[in-house]
Chains A and B, each alone.
Chain A
Amino acid sequence: MNKLILISLIVLCFSIGAYAQSIAVSGVVSLEEDNFPLIGATVVEKGTTNGTQTDIDGKFLLEVESKDAILEVSFIGMKTEEIPLDGRTQFTISLSENYSTLDEIVVMGYGTQTRSKISGAVSSVSEEQIKSTSITRVEQTLQGRTPGVNVIQNSGSPGSTLQVRIRGIGTINNSDPLYVVDGFIVGGIDYLNPGDIESINVLKDAASAAIYGAGAANGVVLITTKQGRIEQTPTITYNMYYGVQKPWKKQNLLSAEQYAILSNEAHLADGRTPLPEFSDPASLGEGTDWQDAIYETAPIQNHQISIVGGSKLSTYAVNGSHFSQDGIVGGEKSRFKRSTFRVNNSHQIFDKLKIGNILSYTHIKRNGLSENNEFNSPIIRALNMDPVTPIRKPDGTFAYSQYSDTDITNPVNALELTNDLWTTNRLVGTIYGELEIIKGLKFRPTFNLDVSLGTRDVFNPSFDLSDDPVLSDAPAGEKRLINNVLQEDNKYFQWLSENTLTYKKTFRDKHDFTALAGFSIKEWQHVYHGGTKSDLRTNDPELAVIDNGQDAESAISWGGKSDFAEISYFGRLNYEFNNKYLFSVVGRYDGSSRFGDNNKFGFFPSFSAGWVISQERFMQNIDLISFLKLRASWGTNGNREIGNYEFAAPVFAGQNYTFGTDEVITNGSGPIKVSNPDLRWETSIQSNIGIDLELLDGKFNLATDYFIKNTTDMLAPAPIAGFIGLDATTRNVGNGLNKGWELAVEYQNRDRPFKYALGGNITFVKNEITSLGEGGDPISANFLQSASGNITRSEVGFPMFMFYGYETDGLFQNQAELEQHAEQSGAQPGDIRFKDLNNDGVINQDDQTFIGNPFPKFTYGFNGKLEFKGVDLSFFLLGVSGNDIYNGTVRYDFTYVNRPVSELERWTGEGTSTTVPRTTLSDPNQNARISDRFVEDGSFLRLKNLQLGYNLPKEWLKRMKTKEFRVYISAQNLFTFTKYSGLDPEIGGGIDRGFYQQSRTYLGGLSIQF
């Protein structure tokens, strides 16, 4: 196999080149509006790669090959001008504002397309938009800007991943889109520095994505990093920002006094004597605010330098960046640091042969905290720790609680003892060649490597919060008598070789054909090993390595590996008639080692068509409409993220037992699950219809799409009888349906000194499971400890992951009401009355129903930019509507946890409350069971970003020999409008287990370009 790659690279070495006689032309390019010279405008001899860029005075000098040459002059955001030489050699050219984006080149996967000719559903984010917010991760650029793409923060902690869902969730399994960076399919884009990005395109419909076949069912995100351009004058840019982050919300919890009052009441309610130390609640006062104790103001900063340029034959882009962010919880304990460098080069080495490389290296250090779980996260501890316990004892050491239980330990102490560092070193590199075999026929071999080394270093120091170490009176969670260390190494290695042939041909000026054929082969491997050991001599985290563990018996090691391989063939044919009728056919034939023996390959076809109505004669007189296109597409995609070796059923070791007085482990091996040689990809079939419209020469533009996405062969645990004695395997049995509608509109006007652009978008998606296979049982998931039950249920006829539980019907106000009601075990007056939905006279599990939907009815975004004389203000609002959040932040399974202040509204006798149940110690009625009581409206509207900037006037810049000098201040998450009572409504999955909230960030930044 490796031989193959080698040979395909050898091809790069063949080519010959020559240059003809030439004519020198020169001139000045300026801006029509103010006649100011344009720096960096591109001047190209039309139809060739021969071109240059204007210098700091807007001047250019170019040698053209023919006296019939036409100069093509372009600049981002300006209308491209085409000027014939007509015997002249001196030119004065002015460019005017271009509102239309129709001529933009859009990366489509193994090729590009002019926006006006796309017949699928593709959204784009430009470098301009990426720059307007100070983002920390690339996915954030898609948030609220691209209709049909829902991006939700999985956690507010620095460096955490985001959940990107394109057109809803297609499957109960992996719903992450495919990421393609510079043509290379990568697993995750956390290694990218957002400042390196030139553009992002999202392929949303099946036809556009079909060129990625079995990888495309969840949509495709194509990212292009910055490249230099031919004859571009060297441009050096330095960007930086510095800011501070703060928590934006605190939950109102009981004070020590209020806590004691409720505790006393609970004891009395259960026939117990109240705790003597709470006899005078007022004396306890406010007590400890554990939220204040864990939150802090944390710095964030970013520095980046980039050098971009090009000569006649070569281009280069060199970027380096450093980003560092502390967490608002625990500061350096959740610090994230990322350093990157990137070198993108290309060289026209012969007339017909170009070669290039894209190389990036990323170093990440992430200090991890336990997040978003109800067991040991700092947030859940801060919300549940009683307010009576002080943070520290009088002697300055940390205190432990007399009341809290097991998981709920002193969060400040726990934070100090956390040492969990992930270090990633990732090298992603591509080399490619581009050979023009005959005119119009291009052969492009590429070879990519992605190597990632990830290490984890965990150190758990020893400690003991006991008042008396001999008595060891602290609860189990507040002491660790022997320290231990864990170290783990992960090596990820992937190579990918892709070779494409593209042929472009125009017949009779009207029939444009582009044909693509390609072959792709890929191998991925993960090797890991790790170990732990106990009893290190010191508690110094710097010395926390396995060999410092003194207890030889405690050493554990593990290791293993996993791999997969893929082979694909693909092709695409585009045909355009007179720029009016557009057709595209795509097919991809994908094989993967992940598929079972009976289904090693799958075929994924698609068709799309577009009709540019504005090109029709009958539209020519309508001046208002400058562009109108109708698009329709149909296609099939696959989802192959189904795990490695899922089809197999090997005999596993480790089924051990122990015998003898010396207790020796005896090895056992046995089968664990059923095999499935039929296992294959999940299929998604999607139809799309859409309209692109531009009015007023592009000042107003609109794109709207309606889609129906059917997922079949969804992997679900096949119902297998337990008496078979093996675990169920997953089979391709489920079907799901997503229907949706999306709209994006934008209006801009830059004709006057006061310039502005306003945009908005909205997406409606409706999701339904249409089958879980024959006899497919509903799938319960998302266990909540405090209710000892699963919150979500996926059932045929309903959306995925709906909340499932009891419906409440107020409180029992008196004994009579209780007796009238269906039998409800453990209930007393003041307890919650649950609805007897099946009317069988008893409240039990059969009375559960769907009580909430974590997915929004619609999501929307607004953004705008106002400019006046160098001052600009931009804003971006994100909205989500119609979703529910399950608030699972109170550990009701423990008796003495703190509660929200709303519990002061408790029932204390007939008529005192109809919503908040009586206070008890043990909750015999299980008021805390999963019910609509904890389901809240999760809608929100958030001002994600507000930025005020100032650009130095051009006259000054010229004197300073500087191309750009910009300063700005910005605020993120400044306002959030929501009814949600918990910490943060912007939450992945809709279940709040003590979410690490997003910070409110204030930044100041600077950008200089020479």
Chain B
Amino acid sequence: MKIYLKQSFFVLSILFFTVGCEKDFLDRNNPVGTDEANFYQTEEDAVSAVIAAYDVLQYELTPSGHFRWFFGDVVSDDAIKGGSGDNDAASLGRLERFEGQATNELVQSEWLASYKGIARSNIVLERVPDIEMDINLQVRLLAEVKFIRAYFYYNLVTIFGDVPLLLKTLSPSESDQARTPKAEVWAQIEKDLTEAIPDLPRRSQMPLTELGRITQGTAQAMLLKAYMFQSKFADAQPLAEAIVNSNEYSLDPDFANIFTQQGENGPGSIFEIQYMNASNGDWGRFAEGTLTNVFQRARGQFGGYGFNIPTQDLVSEFSTGDPRLAATIFQEGDQMGDRGVFTKAATGQLHDYYAKKYFINSSEEAPTGDPNVNGPSNDRVIRYADVLLMHAEAAYHNGAEGAARNSVNLVRERARGNNPPFVVPPISVSGPDLLQAIYKERRLELALEGHRFFDLVRQGRAGEVMRAHGLNFVDDVHELFPIPLTEIQASNGAIIQNFGY
């Protein structure tokens, strides 16, 4: 009996021996990922942190859909939602009919993605300056994320108006942030871009392997957009001229070539969000491709989802023979690349037109992985023609009609290509007709590239045009979209909803 007691006591004492080491035993960290305390230490970390900010530019379905063409084109008079019917992506339908509610996930998605980009920029601006590294690289990286932060604030201020202006990382408890008046947001956008411009390399200094990085011209053009949206024409015109005179950019002689795979990062490319088809990505797994290709392609045998359907109104706007029509829009009977001839029967749908600028051949699809999430096409955000047309518009408002006409005609001349002069002839009108001509040129040149709705808003014509398009557009309400309800709730009411929602 004694012997048992002794042995048992021994065992029992072992049971409690673990008390000493149980803390270690229960400490388990995720083997995937790095602890934040060990990050932001090296030059490599700095580069990696900046790339994470770039990454947000690619977001399209994170957390849900918020393509630039949703707001720029589908909402505008240039396109309708499309898809397989009214029940397909119905929330986009509500957005396009200005029934956008504060609970619409597309609005929330735009907000969340923009602030993700801003948060990742902020953390770089806070942590990277302390990293010991190559000073030239450090300066350039900081300038790049200042651009990225400005870009996302531009998105926010143009979609929502006043938004919380956050320039440092916040803890989750700091959620009672009120909206900052948009003038201050604009001021910050201008400040970030102005600071970034001198620190950024020129496009011509970029090695081919680095194409797609933010350049001086990118930041200048973004600043130009910011001036234009605020109708700061006096500032805009000289800035546009500075971009022109930098001789960094030129118009691709072949308009149609811009939207091909070969045309990516071409001579007129100022800012393109980069996508690639060979990242082997999958739904949810690190895809570097775009979904725009599949979303905009016709359904049926063409294998797309058939969104962003051009309107008759847009098609009719093109003058006879304008080669840009065929480069912008597919009409029935057109050859859809190597995917066959466009007939309604082959699409299984009743739409007369499809968007073409982001069409890709089946031979250009992702060689591996799911081709739908691995679309190759870069998103052409700012083109040189856009800068010329902004210049024209600013110059017109500044009374420089000659300069305005000149810029428009450069764009038209390129559009004409090798056609005889009566095709897309130069314009010679002046006064309000000139302004209308500039507006029209913008619409045609930049059609289905995500600009139209915001152009109409900044030009003060949104109500007039959208109502003519048969939509229930209320002035001073529908220029902006509602603040997501979740944000109002999360801020404990510090955020006030936009007027009219």
Contact = CB atoms under 8 A, between A and B. Distances in A.
Interface of A: 1, 4, 7-8, 11, 14-16, 270, 272, 352, 402-403, 405-406, 435, 437-438, 443, 445, 471-476, 484, 499, 501, 519, 521, 534, 551, 553-554, 556, 558, 560-567, 591-593, 595, 600, 644-645, 648-671, 674, 718-726, 729, 775, 777, 786-789, 825-826, 844-846, 892-896, 921-924, 926, 928-929
A788 B83 CA distance: 12
Contact of A844 (B17, B99, B304, B486): B99
Nearest to B262: A661
A895 B84 contact: yes
A551 B31 CA distance: 31
Given A472-B340, A661-B265, A669-B48, A722 B286 contact: no
Interface string B110-143: 0110011111101100000000000000000000
B90 A789 contact: yes
B211 A661 contact: yes
Contacts of B97: 825
B48 A722 contact: no
A922 B303 CA distance: 20
A270 B177 CA distance: 48
B86 A719 contact: no
A777 B489 contact: yes
B123 A670 contact: yes
Contacts of B103: 845
B101 A402 contact: no
Interface string B290-301: 000000000111
A438 B7 CA distance: 12
Nearest to A594: B28
A435 B490 contact: no
Given A787-B87, A788-B89, 14 more contacts: A405-B300, A438-B5, A473-B340, A519-B18, A600-B23, A645-B30, A665-B288, A666-B51, A668-B55, A670-B120, A724-B174, A777-B489, A788-B91, A922-B85
A402 B369 CA distance: 27
B4 interface: yes
A401 to B, nearest CB: 9
A775 B286 CA distance: 34
A659 B264 CA distance: 11
B425 to A, nearest CB: 36
Contact of A655 (B55, B265, B299, B305): B55
Among B111, B209, B368, B492, the most chain A Cβ lie within 10 Å of the Cβ of B368
Contact of B8 (A402, A437, A729, A788): A437
B4 A649 contact: no
A563 to B, nearest CB: 6
14 contacts: A8-B14, A405-B299, A471-B340, A553-B368, A561-B31, A567-B18, A657-B54, A659-B209, A659-B211, A660-B208, A668-B49, A722-B487, A893-B87, A894-B88
Contacts of A563: 28, 31
B275 to A, nearest CB: 7
Given A655-B55, A922-B86, A650 B116 contact: no
Contacts of A595: 26
Given A11-B11, A475-B300, A593-B28, A352 B288 contact: no
A79 B119 CA distance: 74
Contacts of A723: 111, 115, 118-119, 163-164, 166, 170, 177, 487
The 3 closest A-B pairs by CB, nearest first: A725-B119, A476-B303, A668-B51
Given A648-B30, A674-B172, A719 B90 contact: no
B213 interface: yes
Given A14-B4, A661-B208, A650 B35 contact: yes
Interface residues of B, number: 120
B262 to A, nearest CB: 10
Given A352-B4, A723-B164, A844-B99, A652 B210 contact: no
A484 B280 CA distance: 13
B87 to A, nearest CB: 4
A777 B486 contact: yes
Contacts, number: 323
Interface stretch (B195-203, B341-349, B397-405): B341-349
Interface in B388-434: none
Nearest to B289: A658
A595 to B, nearest CB: 8
Nearest to A786: B87
B118 A652 contact: no
Contacts of B463: none
Contact of A721 (B12, B207, B212, B491): B491
B108 interface: yes
B118 A405 contact: no
B14 A4 contact: yes
B466 interface: no
A659 B490 contact: no
B279 interface: yes
A842 to B, nearest CB: 9
A554 B368 contact: yes
A519 B175 contact: no
Interface string B353-397: 000000000100001110000000000000000000000000000
A660 B487 contact: no
Contacts of B112: 722
A560 B31 CA distance: 8
A475 B4 contact: no
Interface string B327-345: 0000000000001100001
Contacts of B85: 892-895, 921-923
Interface of B: 1, 3-5, 7-8, 10-12, 14-18, 21-23, 25-36, 39, 45, 47-55, 57-58, 83-91, 97, 99, 101, 103-104, 108, 111-112, 115-120, 122-123, 163-164, 166, 169-172, 174-175, 177, 207-213, 264-265, 274-276, 278-280, 285-286, 288, 299-305, 339-340, 345-346, 348-350, 362, 367-369, 484, 486-487, 489-492
A9 B288 CA distance: 54
B172 A924 contact: no
B5 to A, nearest CB: 7
A876 B380 CA distance: 66
Nearest to B484: A722
A660 B210 contact: yes
Contacts of A649: 36
Contact of B108 (A648, A663, A722, A775): A722
Given A723-B177, A846-B101, A788 B52 contact: no
B150 to A, nearest CB: 16
B25 A472 contact: no
B265 A4 contact: no
B55 A719 contact: no
Contact of B11 (A445, A654, A671, A719): A445
B367 A553 contact: yes
A554 B370 CA distance: 11
A645 B29 contact: yes
Contacts of A825: 97, 99
A658 B368 contact: no
A560 B169 CA distance: 30
Nearest to A595: B26
Given A722-B487, A725-B116, A668 B54 contact: yes
A722 B51 contact: no
Contacts of B84: 405-406, 893-895
B116 to A, nearest CB: 5
Contacts of B362: 472
A778 to B, nearest CB: 10
Given A591-B22, A720-B490, A657 B51 contact: yes
A440 to B, nearest CB: 13
A445 to B, nearest CB: 7
Among B58, B116, B120, B491, the most chain A Cβ lie within 10 Å of the Cβ of B116
Given A405-B84, A722-B111, A895 B490 contact: no
A265 to B, nearest CB: 15
A278 to B, nearest CB: 13
Contacts of B212: 658-660
